[in-house]
Amino acid sequence: MKKIMVVYGTRPEAIKLWSVIKALRERSVDVCVVSTGQHLGLLNQTLDALEMTPDVSEMVMQNDQTPSQVVQAVMPIIDREIDLYGPDVVVVQGDAQTAVAAAMSAFLKRVPVAHVEAGLRTYDMSSPFPEEMNRRLISIVARLHFAPTGRASANLVHGGVPQENVYVTGNTEIDALKYAMEECDPERTIPDTGMKVVVATVHRRENQGEGVLEICAALKSLAERNKNIQIVVPVHPNPRVGTLVRQYLDKVPRVKLLDPLDCVSMFYLLKDAYMVITDSGGLQESTAALHVPIVVARTTTERPERIESGGGILVPPKRSLIFDAADRLLNDEEWYEQCADADNPYGDGDAGEQIAEVLGADGAVANRN
């Protein structure tokens, strides 16, 4: 029986690997799930919401840790577990430090790597930092590449990955969203007041400091200008972000600050939203499936399909630009409807099944070198 190790350490990784793990286990594949605990609180919240239980659970998270410290902590764990379990393939997701560390560990032990959500690119090594470097490094060492879109597949092939090693599957974020919408019924996060709900999130490393303040200033102006909206902000626990957000927005009328939400509650909050303002990557995907217009407050995005589909707008994290885009969505009904009707480029919610079918097939990966 093929032995597959799946590694995650952050909330997004767990959300996006949930359907892959589920589909592998339904095929009776021998699976070992390793959680590094890179994001401990947020990660545990997600594991509880999706009823995920790792086989190996570590806790590498430390206060104010650097990306290199995470890599240094994760690699020995993966080295050890590869020696103990002897996997035929190691599966990683995305571009976090856990993913790049696990991929490098597997490569150095001559174990094939499978990369879920492969091929995302901004072609700007400083944005997002260090994620753009991480995903490029993983693409170099990976054997199997599961791209969410045709554009991501083309990026990989353009970068030298053999076409036969690339599979276009859709994005596994949509799998988790579909499950939540069909199988879960959480308590409502906010009461229905009849007002338009604007959901806002901020966390990205390159926005920390001035970028966070610019986004907060835009939200404040938006609330002051539009009396018929309620802005809901789940505040990221990173003190470099959360402290500024609470200081700037805590007393602003029609702005409600929330503690971090589990992924199921967040999906339902997005479903009820009129629009979203964010620097998140995953929200660009889930809002596409929910047909909720989005303002992406970043200088670049590795998910240009969302913008090109007409479902939203990409603006630098500057208060005037964010305000102008969001205010237009709130007050230009024709443009809003065009954005809401945009196609979802991220699949139908069966990406995990497609990935598991490839991973479980005989000959999907070569034996160790």
Active-site residue set: 95, 117, 131, 203, 205, 236
Return the number of other C-beta atoms located less than 10 Å from residue 142's C-beta.
25
Q: In what order do the strands lie in the sheet with 144-147?
A: 56-57, 30-35, 3-8, 89-93, 113-116, 144-147, 166-168
Give the residue from 107, 247, 116, 244 showing the smallest Cα distance to 175. 116
Q: How far is CA 83 from CA 49, 78, 80, 86, 109, in A?
A: 31, 8, 5, 6, 9
First vs last Cα of the chain: how many Å apart?
Answer: 19
Torsion sign over Cα 19, 23, 26, 28:
negative
Residue with tokens 């972000």: 241
| SS3 label, residue 230 | strand
Side-chain-side CA neighbours of residue 154 (13 Å): 4
Q: How far apart are CA 120 and CA 360, in angstroms?
A: 24
Give the residue from 194, 179, 126, 135 showing the smallest Cα distance to 348. 179
Residue with tokens 């009461």: 191
CA 327 remoteness from chain centre? 26
Q: Give 147's strand partners.
A: 168
Torsion sign over Cα 218, 320, 305, 140:
negative
Residue with tokens 């605990």: 37
